[in-house]
Amino acid sequence: MTEAAIEWVPTGIDEEVPSAARVYDYLLGGGHNFSADRELAENLLKVLPARDMARLNRQYLDRVVRYLIGEGVTQFLDLGSGIPTVGNVHEIAQKVNPAARIVYVDNEAVAVAHSEMILRENPNAAAILADMREPEAIRDHPAVRDLIDFNRPLGLLMVGVVQFVPDADDPWAMTEAYRSMLVPGSYLALSAFTWDNAPEGMQAAIEVFKNSRDPIFPRTHQELLRMFGDFELVPPGLVYTPEWRPDRPGDLADASRSNLYAGVGIKR
């Protein structure tokens, strides 16, 4: 990290323990990461096409936000938002609708600190330090209450994050709790690591992440499909990230290099 970046890193950060948010930042070409994060990322690249995975997931996020804005969604709750990089949700949404409201949620202090910095002059966006496994606490957070109206349709984003929630914490019950908060016309957008395409590579990735602050738990197509509950999947359903509504030349890619399923569901 540069000296300028270090100035805003919150106190108490253990630079020796890698975090998924900072690894993702490194894979996307960002500069808000430590040597331990870069080392983990380089080990990950030995077993999976992780840079492609990160890029394709980020492009999926861009398409999702543009799609939801086109469907009339004006507010977004981004769970596990990570460290801001090019193409943040508020940038995409507010480019089309300057009144769009966004709350970023992450449990990584560096991610939230940097988010707060870039949002200082943006009254319609905020970032909070919270754990997505506590839906009610997030719903009732003052910053969320200030910007998000749960009586109106909402775009709930769980992009590249549920793979960090172990089965023991029941991510299916967690997503059900969030879905129950939403009114008809709301959407759930989700992407996550899967075993289905490269089981040996994913098993190796589990070992790579084992000693980080964010172990990973890849899941099958059926296990991820369950997280949508009774929400109606919009076409093309739950597919690999580059297969979800590619609409720009740069979106076209070999789906076998994705290793993340992605989909969007609507509450009717």
Residue 229: give its domain's CATH number: 3.40.50.150
pLDDT value of position 3 = 43
Residue 113: domain span:
49-266
Closest CA to 144 of 112, 180, 101: 101
Question: Is 194 domain-assigned?
Answer: yes
Mean pLDDT throughout 128-148? 98
Range with lowest mean pLDDT among 51-60, 80-89, 147-156, 237-246: 80-89
For residue 13, is it within any domain? no
Assigned domain for 217 exists: yes
Average pLDDT score, the chain? 94
Asked if residue 160 is part of any domain, the answer here is yes
The label of the residue with tokens 């108490």 reads 12
CA separation, residue 263 to residues 121, 212, 221, 266 (Å)? 32, 27, 11, 10
- In a domain? residue 27: no
Q: Domain for residue 20, yes or no?
A: no
Q: How many domains does the chain have?
A: 1
Is position 31 within any domain?
no
Q: Is residue 176 included in any domain, yes or no?
A: yes
Question: pLDDT at position 14, please?
Answer: 81
